[in-house]
């Protein structure tokens, strides 16, 4: 599993914004904000939501990372090894069909995984990525201040911040990035683990 601190370059005070449950109608808006604020991020997509009109190429070309979040978003701990493998492989196949770059990272739905999941992820050559800072944006639909404080009260150098591709997240994202930058952080994409 990827250790948050191990991802950040030692010379930079960096955090990693990550967006789950896309691609969605908000993906372009999120990308526009990231571009405007000169921030990078990682997107963990569900394979069932992927189709040619989704902006996978833009995600990669603008310097972000694209990862797998399974195909149908099940609780993996309730599935056998073979079903977990099918779920993750299906998402990889969907993303590969529209993405110009290989997928290196995986995040389990609900943050739930077991030894079988770790075996599948290793077998597929992926890196399991969790988070240490939860925005609770999915829960705080009517409280943008709560989303901001959930992040800003807990980030530290190397933090991986969990966000979702939701309208309430889009609404607070410019201010969130401004606050992160004001604290001296840089928002980075997850780095490639593959050489050459």
Catalytic residues: 20, 164
Give residue 103's region: left, alpha or beta (phi > 0; psi -120 to 50): beta
Biggest CA–CA distance in the chain, Å, is 46
Cα-based distances in Å from 41 to 82, 126, 177, 192: 31, 18, 11, 13
Per the structure block, which two tokens stand in for 132?
A: 């240490």
Which residue has 């921030």 as its token pair? Answer: 39
């Amino acid at each position: 599993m990827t250790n948050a601190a191990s991802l950040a370059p030692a010379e930079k005070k960096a955090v990693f914004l990550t967006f789950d449950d896309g691609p969605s109608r908000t993906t372009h808006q999120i990308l526009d904000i990231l571009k405007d604020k000169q921030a990078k991020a990682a997107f963990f997509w569900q394979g069932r939501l992927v189709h040619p009109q989704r902006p996978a190429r833009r995600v990669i070309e603008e310097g972000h990372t694209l990862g797998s979040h399974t195909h149908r978003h099940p609780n993996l701990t309730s599935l056998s090894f073979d079903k977990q493998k099918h779920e993750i492989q299906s998402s990889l196949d969907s993303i590969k069909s529209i993405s110009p770059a290989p997928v290196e990272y995986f995040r389990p739905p609900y943050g739930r995984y077991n030894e079988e999941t770790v075996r599948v992820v290793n077998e597929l050559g992926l890196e399991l990525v969790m988070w240490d800072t939860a925005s609770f944006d999915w829960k705080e639909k009517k409280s943008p201040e709560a989303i901001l404080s959930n992040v800003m009260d807990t980030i530290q150098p190397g933090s991986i911040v969990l966000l979702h591709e939701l309208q309430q997240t889009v609404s607070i994202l410019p201010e969130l990035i401004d606050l992160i930058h004001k604290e001296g952080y840089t928002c980075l994409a997850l780095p490639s683990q593959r050489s050459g």
